[in-house]
Amino acid sequence: MTKILLVANTDWYLYNFRLSLAKFLRHQGVDVVMVSPSGRYVESIRAAGFPWVEWPVERRSVSWVAESRALLRLREIYHFEKPDLVHHFTIKPVLYGSMAARWVGVPAIVNAITGLGYLFLHESPMTCILRGAAMLAYRILLQGNRVFTIFENESNRQFFILHRLVHPEQTTVIEGVGVDAEHFVPTPEPSTPEIVVLFPARLLREKGVDVVVEAARQLRGRYPVRFVLAGEPDPGNPGSITEAQVRAWEAEGLVEWWGWQADMVKVYHQSHIVVLPSLGEGIPTALLEAGACARPVVTTDVPGCRDVVIDGENGLLVPPNDPQALAEAIEQLLCDSELRLRLGQAGRARVLERFTDDRINHQTWAVYRRLLVLS
């Protein structure tokens, strides 16, 4: 039986974004093993019937001792599990996993670039140093006849090609993780006296949460509207907002903080408008879920977001880091229920056409089969 390891830097990522792929692979007769640091989703992964192996790795650590231990532990896992193929998600799994897989002689390596991430979206002396090191490592590790790289949008793919980090023929674009359109289904707008504007993401500056708050400040008192943050801070990410800051926004009356939500379908159904003013994405799952639920979205004209949203067709695009433009786009939707309905219906149609999880899983399986035949 073919064995495939799915490797990420959080169990949260594997459970929320790759469980559908794991179930699809199991249906194809593949033995799937999940590998990640420990967290609250481990039991849910196991309850779904998948083996899970702990890989202790710190997302923010730059300690050579800790990073060496993480790399050696991953090498041990690959040596013991003897996979036919490993699929890595996010930067450290891609880099460390590629090194470990080469050492052990794993027949096939797939690396997913799920977005450029913090290192490429922020400028500071430390991020510049780390970005340079990461690009050098990418250039070495993403090439070879057993290696294939999946990007979520063409802009990210072209960035890597331009900087000679990959060979074009060893890459493809698969648009995100997809969404279960039979689970995320449309409902009519809630008949509430206030319109609910939802931000459904981790509370990160690169996701634009601070821009949402400033837009809320501009619209507060002018319209019957509530701004809701459905997500948590991410202490492992340098761009995370602190809980104290979120509580301060709440106390000021700018937002409601609903925190982490297990049932996101219910959350989308309680909203009228979904916003994600991100600085850059692979393919943002939140926009796919909102579209599947036929909710109109406002997002930024940046790679990933504009791959999902066509301005004026299934949502509205605004410049990044522009609270005024975001407020104006939200205001347009606040004042026009027919526009909200039209954009939401078009969003559902676009998801069904391009972004279902079944479509994405078949595309990913095609990559695996190509490598397993060649390896």
Residue 307 included in any domain: yes
Count of other CB atoms within 10 angstroms of residue 191: 5
- Looking at residue 63, its pLDDT comes to 67
What is the number of structural domains in the chain?
2
- Looking at residue 237, its pLDDT comes to 80
Residue 188 included in any domain: no
250: domain CATH number is 3.40.50.2000
- Looking at residue 145, its pLDDT comes to 79
**String of b and e for 328-357 (b: at least 16 CB within 10 Å)?**
bbbbebbeeeeebeebbebbbebbeebbbb
Count of other CB atoms within 10 angstroms of residue 87: 28
Residue 335 included in any domain: yes
Cβ atoms of 329 and 305 within 8 Å: the answer is no
- Looking at residue 241, its pLDDT comes to 93
Residues 80 and 121 in one domain: yes
pLDDT tens-digit profile, the chain (375 residues): 899 999 999 999 999 999 999 999 999 999 999 999 999 999 999 999 999 999 998 756 566 788 889 999 999 999 999 999 999 998 889 999 999 999 999 999 999 988 665 555 545 565 565 666 677 777 778 887 789 999 999 999 998 999 888 999 999 999 999 999 999 999 999 999 999 999 999 999 999 999 999 999 999 889 999 999 999 998 878 789 999 999 999 999 999 999 989 899 999 999 999 999 999 888 999 999 999 999 999 999 999 999 999 999 999 999 999 999 999 999 999 999 999 999 999 999 999 999 999 999 999 999 999 999 744
Is residue 145 exposed (0-12), middle (13-18) or buried (19+ Cβ within 10 Å)? exposed
Q: What are phi and psi of 138, to 5 degrees?
A: -55, -45
Tell me whether strands 273-276 and 256-257 are parallel, antiparallel or unpaired. Answer: unpaired
Residue 165 included in any domain: yes
Residues 253 and 288 in one domain: yes
Residues 88 and 237 in one domain: no
Residues 95 and 161 in one domain: yes
Residues 171 and 299 in one domain: no
Residue 189 included in any domain: no
Residues 163 and 260 in one domain: no
Residues 340 and 369 in one domain: no
Residues 254 and 319 in one domain: yes
**The domain containing residue 132 runs over which residues?**
3-177+356-374
Q: Cα angle at 139 between 136 and 144, to 5 degrees? A: 145
Residues 156 and 129 in one domain: yes
Q: Can you name the residues that pair with 35 across neighbouring β-strands?
A: 7, 53
Look up residue 311 and give its two tokens: 């301005």
- Looking at residue 125, its pLDDT comes to 63
Amino acid in position 214: E
Residue 184 included in any domain: no
Residue 116 included in any domain: yes
